[in-house]
């Protein structure tokens, strides 16, 4: 029997980008009769849901729409619990998939029954502005790791653009509903890998949110929040991060090493600005982490 696929879209206030994301799902060359779409909206205050409903008219894709206000872990678990597919492909509200993206992911999973989670790679294309391109390149180089090695245990593929084997994620109980922000995907991957399933990246490209440009302010907010959420996550899974690797000197060195890899691939001199960007993101991450530490201990004292 041909495998069925659930496309999980957990979205909130994405009116600017959701139309392109939905069109890239609708235009997939995977048979629509084998697709279902589950949208979980985090109580958007803009026109996100209206745009989604408009895009789906005449698309001939079975669709379920839910609302939640409990965070990402809860939203993703709604998809897991309601999925009727053999696989879940996670699509963020600001992604664009190549036309053959889902088909090629499914073919890879069918050929590799030991893989629980797989993912394509961000496109190494020049985006709107140097900062956006650098951020896209930095995520692309992170996907070049061997995710089946022990050294990559503390790295995460992330959900956006990933395909999950439904049996694998249900086997480990799905996502932690108590994780409201970042790290819900990291937690799920740790559980899936600990259950004996492998993770892998494959050579299929997608475009992510950086295509619309990135500002230094937005970049700071993003990594501040990651640091903040990671502090609380490490109370659940202590020892995952070696803190010296997150300090600015280590970030600068990592930026140099990644710039060298990326220059070989892209021949773009701008990649040698990565060490500066890595220091900036490291500072934002640690500022958020320390704030989380402060709030955690203040809450304990009350």
Q: What is the pLDDT of residues 183-194, one digit of tens each?
A: 999 999 999 999
Handedness of CA 106, 110, 111, 116 (dihedral sign): positive
pLDDT at 239: 83
148 and 269 in a common domain: no
243 and 97 in a single domain? The answer is no
Q: State which of 212, 232, 249 marks the end of a domain.
A: 212
Domain holding 191, by residue range, is: 5-212
Whether residue 77 is found in the same domain as residue 153: yes
| Residue 170 and residue 27 in one domain | yes
d(CA 111, CA 126): 33
Q: For the chain, what is the domain count? A: 2
Convert the pLDDT of each residue in 225-256 to its tens digit. 999 999 999 999 988 887 777 788 899 999 99
The answer to whether residues 47 and 166 belong to one domain is: yes
pLDDT reading at 35 higher than 90: yes
Give all strands of the β-sheet with 62-67 in edge-to-edge order. Answer: 62-67, 35-41, 5-11, 87-90, 162-165, 115-122, 198-207, 96-97
Do 140 and 283 fall within a single domain?
no
State the pLDDT at residue 211.
61
What is the mean predicted confidence (pLDDT) over 164-174? 98
Three-class SS of residue 76? helix
Q: Does residue 271 share a domain with residue 129? A: no
- Which of residues 168, 184, 212 is at a domain's end? 212
Assess whether 197 and 230 both reside in one domain: no
Six token digits for residue 41: 């909206």
For residues 182 and 234, membership in a common domain is answered with no
CA quadruple 65, 71, 74, 77: dihedral positive or negative?
Answer: positive
Are 72 and 160 in a shared domain? yes
pLDDT one-digit tens code per residue, 59-110: 889 999 999 988 999 999 999 999 999 999 999 998 889 999 999 999 999 9
Last-in-domain residue among 190, 212, 234: 212
What is 165-188 written as a DSSP string? EHHHHHHTT---TT--STTHHHHH
Q: What is the CATH number for 177?
A: 3.90.550.10
Mean pLDDT of 173-184: 94
- Does 159 lie in the same domain as 29? yes
């Amino acid at each position: 029997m041909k495998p069925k696929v659930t496309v999980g879209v957990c979205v909130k206030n994405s009116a600017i980008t959701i139309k392109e994301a939905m069109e890239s799902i609708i235009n997939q060359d995977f048979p629509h009769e084998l697709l279902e779409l589950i949208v979980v909206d985090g109580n958007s205050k803009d026109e996100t849901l209206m745009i989604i409903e408009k895009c789906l008219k005449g698309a001939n894709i079975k669709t379920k729409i839910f609302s939640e206000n409990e965070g990402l872990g809860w939203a993703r678990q709604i998809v897991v619990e309601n999925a009727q597919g053999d696989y879940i492909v996670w699509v963020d509200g600001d992604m664009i998939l190549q036309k053959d993206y889902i088909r090629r992911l499914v073919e890879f999973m069918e050929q590799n029954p030991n893989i629980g989670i797989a993912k394509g790679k961000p496109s190494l294309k020049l985006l709107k502005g140097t900062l956006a391109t650098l951020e896209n390149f930095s995520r692309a180089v992170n996907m070049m790791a061997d995710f089946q090695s022990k050294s990559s245990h503390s790295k995460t593929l992330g959900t956006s653009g990933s395909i999950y084997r439904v049996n694998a994620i249900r086997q480990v109980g799905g996502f932690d509903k108590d994780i409201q922000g970042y790290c819900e995907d990291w937690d799920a991957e740790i559980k899936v890998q600990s259950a004996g399933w492998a993770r892998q990246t494959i050579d299929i490209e997608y475009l992510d949110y950086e295509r619309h440009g990135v500002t230094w302010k937005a970049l700071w907010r993003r990594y501040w929040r990651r640091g903040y959420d990671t502090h609380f996550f490490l109370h659940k899974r202590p020892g995952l991060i070696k803190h010296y690797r997150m300090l600015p000197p280590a970030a600068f060195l990592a930026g140099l090493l990644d710039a060298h890899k990326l220059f070989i691939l892209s021949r773009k001199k701008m990649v040698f600005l990565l060490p500066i960007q890595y220091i900036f993101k490291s500072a934002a991450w640690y500022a958020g982490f320390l704030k989380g530490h402060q709030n955690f201990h203040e809450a304990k004292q009350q």
